Structure 1
């Protein structure tokens, strides 16, 4: 992350009065001449002509490096060669303040939003809140919980499962840095120089609060019981970078009995602005100054000093803005304000790994390109272009099935009559002199002319009559009034739903009868109807519906209903009754069904 001090970071009220503000004795040790780390890769990030690098982090699950710039763009790089993996825009203008990696993607923090994206660049969720005004840092508490801080008077604890936040009010001047020692203790550093130790299980109450620098804090980190800080001191109203790293013993700060001093300092050649412990080593840290001066420190109290020094080659007047250390401590990454990333690894390790047990990174399928050939190239062999692989069960389009191939033999010429006249037979073999009517090596076959080919095509296209399959033939429906119908006719209805036979006169109303049957209120009313009337349409409909319920899918006849329907004078007056000889072809059946529907709906109890 970037430096954590504000533009106006010093006031008279910020001067410390605690006993930690005593003068620190310089402990400068001459650095080793041979640097332990050396440059491995140096690349230019996207948009370096306009924006600098504002966040960089090693992936904790894969061999990736994630970079965020001041223009809201995020790019990932794979392996020590820093091959570009994904690149996407998180915000249109706000810079990326911090990035953390999770098992199912990354979380990128801007000034007022938190974006969750998978590693392939597909966004999953963007979280915004009125409490996010000037966010600065992230801390991954657990797999389902995040802690966010910024230049504001509150911390935000976000539940990633429910996407609900919990506001934690703090007394210090915001929280610009969040670091942990690997246990339940986290250090919250404010830009004003105050460091607060909190328990991640009860973050609302501070375990201990002290002022690390009397002007402002630049960076801090924790490992075990050691806390290192760097920052600025107040010099006559001007913030001046302190040329040393302060090491704090957390046990002494929290009040435990220890013979050690609560703090000691390590002098550096250039004022440090960024700090980070080496996770693979105990008591070793990296201090980076703005001009690219990097020092490896031993922060233990008994042997505090500088072990190795090297330089990050940045352009003139360009400062190193961010850094990170891999979990294996085999790689260091630095980003500057000119849009460059610098990857360092130990001298003896030219292929560093970022994690001990990294999972495989998902890449896109390799696109096999075809060779590019000019149209004027007459020497190119088209057979040199490989055919693409086929999936199982597929074949090429030009691989026709065997039934599409036919063998045709060339027609021989008829034997010359002159040969037949002069032929002498010797057993089954005939001999005749050559009449010399053809030249030597002349084709002894008949050449097909255009007329012969057309005649052959016409003969091949002749369609021989083929019998129609039985299940496509038209059925001749013959109903038996006195016995069971044909089993094949009964098997036509495989739905299990009952139907009505259309062999009776006035059966045009079968469709509307089924509509009434499948209308539950009408069906229930008719089934419950009883009366003493001889020809009651409602009684006959109820009887018909009972037959359909108990038919088990067999077709039924509406004979009783149609017989009662013929006795209704109003139906005959409306022309709803057709003669027995069958419906007249000139009758409009659609209008007839509509009239029948209006008539039947006016009957009781409908």
Structure 2
């Protein structure tokens, strides 16, 4: 059954967002970064148009490891249960050990250049370019690899030119594919494009799709284009992005200050918040008047001590008639 998707266009111009730079890191090893992959709570891998892959510790803000055996650069990083998959600009995909980052296997996905790839389970699917008549043209085939044996499987033919692809998290072989002309298609990689559950033309007015992502709930697909728009496809208007989402934490709202008239002598000046500064204020008391003082415990009257009966280390005495309960 075909799934009906609803299209919502959200204008997300990045220049209108206010961003605060917490810290930055500069290095001669960083020339042109293209991709980032989180490998731990405070560790990321950086790759790009450079002959190395950098591992950065976010807590200490320093480069902890340099992998300099990537002669063709690294434009795409994907995580697998057994490997760190690195896509080079020469059409090859390097499978590296997650602990040592040493290359274990190398796969030649495309003859000219690699455009995008994704991995799920033991299946790796990629799209790229090849050279025909001296020109680089997009391949109309998806290259499929079985990572259990690192063997190339039968390619998936397409009627359109693939540009970006992404596996659907809730399915083993279903993926979303974006073409160079802005067409979005969702189909099963084993059954082929004939099993397409969705096909929409996303971009318009000459825009080019530059990013594709799928929510973890598998209910939303987002496509970002070159004009700054994000096109969101959803199963229903009430679809959720994350099945176990938590409410977003926002900053406390600023409480507006009520204006005070100049001639209002009954206004409380304490209602105006003042910043905490190390400078001395006129309302500060002198040090000799703010020393802590403790009230000493009054002595127990003699009539209570005379009528006290000791049981072990605890003394019991009847309450005098001239005293209130719990009065010391």
Q: Is the 8 A contact 1:247 1:299 kept in 2?
A: no
Pick from 123, 131, 152 the counterpart of residue 226 of structure 1: 123
Is residue 132 of structure 1 aligned with residue 30 of structure 2?
yes
Q: 2 CA distance for matches of 1:158 and 1:287?
A: 31
Cross-structure match for 1:268: 158
Matches within 5 A, 1:311-390: 311-346=200-235, 349-365=236-252
Cross-structure match for 2:42: 144
Q: Is the 8 A contact 1:290 1:321 kept in 2?
A: no
Give, in angstroms, the shift of residue 35 of structure 1.
Answer: 5.3
Q: Runs of at least 4 residues of structure 1 off by over 6 A?
A: none
Q: 1 CA distance for matches of 2:62 and 2:164?
A: 32
Give, in angstroms, the shift of residue 122 of structure 1.
Answer: 3.6
Cross-structure match for 1:176: 75
Is residue 277 of structure 1 aligned with residue 244 of structure 2?
no
Give, in angstroms, the shift of residue 288 of structure 1.
Answer: 0.5
Matches within 5 A, 1:6-25: none
Give, in angstroms, the shift of residue 270 of structure 1.
Answer: 1.3
Q: 1:274 to 1:314 in 2, by over 3 A?
A: same
Q: 2 CA distance for matches of 1:398 and 1:176?
A: 64
1:112-132 deviation per Cα after TM superposition (whole angstroms, max 9, x unaligned) = xxxxxxxxx443211121100
Is residue 244 of structure 1 aligned with residue 130 of structure 2?
no
Q: 1 CA distance for matches of 2:192 and 2:203?
A: 28
Cross-structure match for 1:209: 106
Matches within 5 A, 1:357-506: 357-365=244-252
Q: 1:368 to 1:398 in 2, by over 3 A?
A: closer
Q: Is the 8 A contact 1:35 1:310 kept in 2?
A: no
Q: 2 CA distance for matches of 1:36 and 1:174?
A: 40
Cross-structure match for 1:45: 12
- 1:191 match: secondary structure: coil
1:415-434 deviation per Cα after TM superposition (whole angstroms, max 9, x unaligned) = xxxxxxxxxxxxxxxxxxxx
Larger Rg: 1
Cross-structure match for 2:94: 196
Q: Which has the higher helix share?
A: 1
Give, in angstroms, the shift of residue 317 of structure 1.
Answer: 2.3
Which residues of structure 2 form unaligned runs of 5+?
Answer: 260-265, 269-290, 292-328
Give, in angstroms, the shift of residue 398 of structure 1.
Answer: 7.3
Give, in angstroms, the shift of residue 368 of structure 1.
Answer: 8.8
- 2:148 match: secondary structure: helix
Give, in angstroms, the shift of residue 246 of structure 1.
Answer: 1.8
Work out which structure has the larger RCO, using CA pairs closer than 8 Å and 6 or more positions apart in sequence.
1
Q: Is the 8 A contact 1:312 1:342 kept in 2?
A: no
Is residue 286 of structure 1 aligned with residue 172 of structure 2?
no
Which residues of structure 1 form unaligned runs of 5+?
Answer: 1-31, 47-68, 76-86, 89-120, 254-260, 370-386, 389-396, 400-493, 495-606
Give, in angstroms, the shift of residue 364 of structure 1.
Answer: 4.6
Report the aligned-residue RMSD. Answer: 2.7
TM-score, length of structure 2 as denominator length: 0.73
Q: Is the 8 A contact 1:293 1:309 kept in 2?
A: no
Q: 2 CA distance for matches of 1:131 and 1:263?
A: 37
Give, in angstroms, the shift of residue 249 of structure 1.
Answer: 0.7
Q: Is the 8 A contact 1:184 1:201 kept in 2?
A: no
- 2:149 match: secondary structure: helix
Instruction: Give the number of equivalent residue pairs.
Output: 262
Q: 2 CA distance for matches of 1:124 and 1:340?
A: 26
Q: 2 CA distance for matches of 1:125 and 1:42?
A: 33
Q: Which has the higher strand share?
A: 2
1:43-66 deviation per Cα after TM superposition (whole angstroms, max 9, x unaligned) = 2232xxxxxxxxxxxxxxxxxxxx
